[in-house]
Amino acid sequence: MDVIDLWSGRHAVALQAATRSTNEEFARALGVAVRTVAAWHADPAIVPRREIQRALDTALERVTPAEQRRFGVLYRQTAEVQTQALRVAIAVVVRGDEVLLVCRRGEDALRWQFPAGVVKPGNSSSAVAVQETLAETAVHCSVRKHLGSRVHPMTGVLADYQLCEYLAGEARNVDTVENLDVAWVPIAQLTKFIPHDSIYPPVMAALEGTHE
């Protein structure tokens, strides 16, 4: 039986498809609003809050063996398609001993993360990192170093990490639709905003090196 350590909208939608449920039926089974299920379809990267995580665990335990097999196939296929189709540039912008973060709005929770944007065909990851940082925070930066890439454990997309240097601009929340806040956070306190085990290790190593 497949076990999901951390449910995302992508996993939830795969479970819904495996049980051949409508949005209304799936919402009723989980005890959530229909709009919550619709939000998972719109944004597969959403991470449901803890009580919904537990409800999804229970729902998965109750499916038939045939539905369990179908779920395993569906969520793996979805992950493969997303990884191939979606690439994201993540800007790790440093100013002295601080790093720039944005606070994302979500259906069920707020989460702090580095500025990021989708890399469309024909664009470079470094250019998108600079452009998205400006578009989200009004901060001008330049790419210092590519820190590496990975399939993001929460979203399943290919994430390119760019270490960036602050150039100019007063940080402010420009994208009020997606973000609630923008902040310069002391590197020494970063893990108070983003769990240590969620941070790409080369990012943590680079940040620790910048403020020694």
Instruction: Please list the residue range(s) of the chain that carry CATH number 3.90.79.10.
Output: 86-210
φ, ψ (nearest 5 deg) of residue 66: -65, -40
Task: Inform me whether the pLDDT recorded for 133 exceeds 90.
Answer: yes
Task: Inform me whether the pLDDT recorded for 175 exceeds 70.
Answer: yes
Task: Write out pLDDT tens, residues 1-38.
Answer: 556 878 888 889 999 999 999 999 999 999 999 888 88
Average pLDDT of the residues in 56-69: 92
Q: What per-residue confidence (pLDDT) applies to 171?
A: 95
Asked if 160 and 149 touch (Cβ cutoff 8 Å), the reply is: yes
Task: Inform me whether the pLDDT recorded for 85 exceeds 60.
Answer: no
How does DSSP assign 42-85, residue by residue? H-TT----HHHHHHHHHHHHHS-HHHHHHHHHHHHHHHHHHHHH
Task: Inform me whether the pLDDT recorded for 118 exceeds 90.
Answer: no
pTM for the whole structure: 0.61
Asked if 56 and 3 touch (Cβ cutoff 8 Å), the reply is: no
> What CATH superfamily is the domain 86-210?
Nucleoside Triphosphate Pyrophosphohydrolase (3.90.79.10)
Q: What per-residue confidence (pLDDT) applies to 210?
A: 63
Residues 6 or more apart from 36 whose CB is under 8 A from it?
Answer: 27, 48, 52, 107, 108
